[in-house]
């Protein structure tokens, strides 16, 4: 087991949020991130690999200014965490429906240019991913064990359906991104506590 001091948050925090609890289906692309399969068929992801990928994701995100990143989350459990993440980091989020063409159709009044996309669920956000592919921007995707990772530049394995899991993911992304960009002093906590990231 990985030493707790090496992790972004404690094993206990990860476990309580259920960040490692997958589905009963294993997509072949997710095999490297699987720790074990429980007797009931539920797939458990490797916490160390989740932590490693969250670090890589924040390193990647930190190369871009807040106005250059877009985060898409159609899944309702992601809406509150996304809004709080945006409030802290200044990054543009689309909680709910993403209008196809937002990144590609100059005639749309909502047309915007970004340099990096993050999606909560690669299957639900397939329209946004298609737009990102057309514009050539990199895509980071949160992926559960049943997700297909085609067209993603970076997979972050995690429970991308659970309220607490998504809250913890976006709390970590906000803290790490802000620290790496110099928007939050190392060792300082975010002004919005983790509990508030958990959708009611």
Q: What is the pTM of this model?
A: 0.94
Q: Residue ranges of the chain with pLDDT lower than 70?
A: 1-5, 199-200
- What is the bridge-based pairing of β-strands 139-143 and 116-119? parallel
**Chain centre to alpha carbon of residue 109:** 27
Q: What is the CATH number of the domain that holds 139?
A: 3.40.50.10490
pLDDT of residue 110: 80
Q: Which domain holds residue 159?
A: 4-197
165-179 confidence digits (pLDDT tens): 999 999 999 999 999
Domain count within the chain:
1
Rg for the chain (alpha carbons), in Å? 16
22-65 confidence digits (pLDDT tens): 998 888 889 899 999 899 989 999 999 999 999 999 999 999 99
Helix H, strand E, coil C: the string for 93-134 is: EEECCCCCCCCCCCCCCCCCCCCEEEECCCCCCHHHHHHHHH
């Amino acid at each position: 087991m990985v030493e707790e001091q090496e992790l972004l948050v404690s094993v206990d925090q990860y476990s309580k949020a259920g960040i490692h609890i997958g589905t009963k289906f294993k997509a072949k692309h997710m095999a490297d991130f699987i720790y074990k399969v429980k007797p009931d068929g539920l797939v458990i992801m490797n916490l160390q690999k989740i932590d490693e990928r969250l670090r890589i994701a924040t390193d990647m995100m930190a190369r871009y200014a807040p106005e250059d990143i877009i985060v898409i989350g159609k899944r309702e459990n992601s809406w509150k965490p996304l809004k709080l993440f945006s409030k802290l980091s200044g990054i543009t989020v689309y909680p709910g429906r993403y209008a196809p063409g937002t990144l590609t159709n100059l005639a749309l009044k909502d047309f915007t240019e970004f340099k990096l996309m993050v999606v909560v669920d690669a299957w639900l956000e397939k329209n946004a991913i298609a737009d990102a592919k057309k514009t050539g921007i990199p895509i980071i995707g949160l992926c559960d064990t049943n997700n297909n990772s085609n067209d993603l530049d970076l997979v972050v394995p995690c429970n991308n359906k659970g309220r607490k899991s998504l809250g913890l993911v976006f709390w970590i992304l906000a803290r790490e991104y802000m620290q790496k960009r110099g928007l939050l002093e190392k060792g300082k906590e975010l002004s919005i506590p983790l509990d508030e990231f958990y959708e009611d």
